[in-house]
Amino acid sequence: MLELSYETISRILADQDAKAGPGQIAHYPSLEALSEKARGSRHWGMGETFVWAESPEKFLILTQIAPDSCEMLVISHNGYHNVLTAYRFEQDELVAMLDGYVNGGDHSMPRARA
């Protein structure tokens, strides 16, 4: 399992006006494991961040952006994708969506920066 550095994750999040402390970032060996954990609560703390990386050039990050909820900003190497409520998805459905963001390339949206 590859772990992106805290500095790399911080830079990626900052591009979307988000942030996470070092103790808020967890790495997962697969999109399945990441999805299962993200779906596991309706109330994550602000900045809780879930990371999967195959390489520095192929990764997915979900980060909690709303207090006491499960609103996750989704970012991959392809850019910003979506804000989703992870627990509302079935496991297979969420994995398929995240896999599409990682492997589809054309699902990304413009960066939030002005």
Domain range annotation of the chain: 6-104
Q: What is the pLDDT of residue 69?
A: 86
pTM: predicted TM-score of the whole model, two decimal places: 0.89
Distance (Å, whole) CA 16 – CA 113 = 7
Q: What is the DSSP letter of 69?
A: B
pLDDT tens digits for range 31-80? 999 999 999 999 999 999 999 999 999 999 999 998 888 899 999 999 99
Q: What is the pLDDT of residue 7?
A: 96
DSSP 3-state of 9? helix
